């Protein structure tokens, strides 16, 4: 991989076969799109809200807090603290 951050602007433009004033020509841009594809990020699998919630509920601390709140509610020690 080229280390463009270590090169001068003129070197980078020359290496990329571009023009600092005009950019790429239409033909060169089309050629690069065919060669490299569109400049788009690929979207990874999204996790649904339910999967995120279930993952959070698998945490040991969350389970302890849920059990403690159920026990507290069951014995009637609910207080406003």
Range in 2-6, 18-22, 23-27, 62-66 with the lowest mean pLDDT: 2-6
This prediction's pTM: 0.44
pLDDT of residue 81: 54
Q: Read off the pLDDT of residues 48-72 as tens digits, 9 standing for 90 and up.
A: 899 988 888 888 999 999 999 899 8
Q: What is the dihedral of CA 29, 32, 34, 35, to 10 degrees?
A: 170
The CA distance from 24 to 60, in Å, is: 55
């Amino acid at each position: 991989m080229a280390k463009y951050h270590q090169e001068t602007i003129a070197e980078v433009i020359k290496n990329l076969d571009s023009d600092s004033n005009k950019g790429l020509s239409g033909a060169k841009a089309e050629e690069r799109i065919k060669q490299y594809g569109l400049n788009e990020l690929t979207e990874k699998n999204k996790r649904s809200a339910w999967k995120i919630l279930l993952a959070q509920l698998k945490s040991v601390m969350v389970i302890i807090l849920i059990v403690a709140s159920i026990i507290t509610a069951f014995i009637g020690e609910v207080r406003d603290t």
